[in-house]
Amino acid sequence: MAFGFLRPTIVNVTLTLLVLLLPIMHENVQLPDGGTVQDTYAPMQLIVAYIYLGDLYPLMLMFGYALAVYIAISLIILAVTRVNKFFLLMKIQKF
């Protein structure tokens, strides 16, 4: 099986950066008066914070998350292009 779909293209990289810039990490913060507030963080923000703080374990977890997002987006793009080619061939054979 060839892993050519993992080659960085402008679509893969752009969609991966877009997903990593979205505030999708949530944390419930306990306030001193007993209430809670939900904070949201973007994965890129956490990566920069972990680099600045020098925390290696959470930094490696976030790099693993970024790699998983890149592979998932690459697989989605591969599936969409394969389905698109299939329907295009069906349309050509029909006429």
Q: What is the pTM of this model?
A: 0.82
pLDDT along the chain (95 residues), means of 10: 85 94 91 91 94 95 96 94 82 68
Model pLDDT, residue 12: 93
Model pLDDT, residue 74: 94
Alpha carbon separation from 24 to 8, 29, 37, 67, 81 (Å, rounded): 23, 16, 15, 16, 27
Model pLDDT, residue 91: 73
The domain segmentation of the chain, as residue ranges, is 4-28+36-94
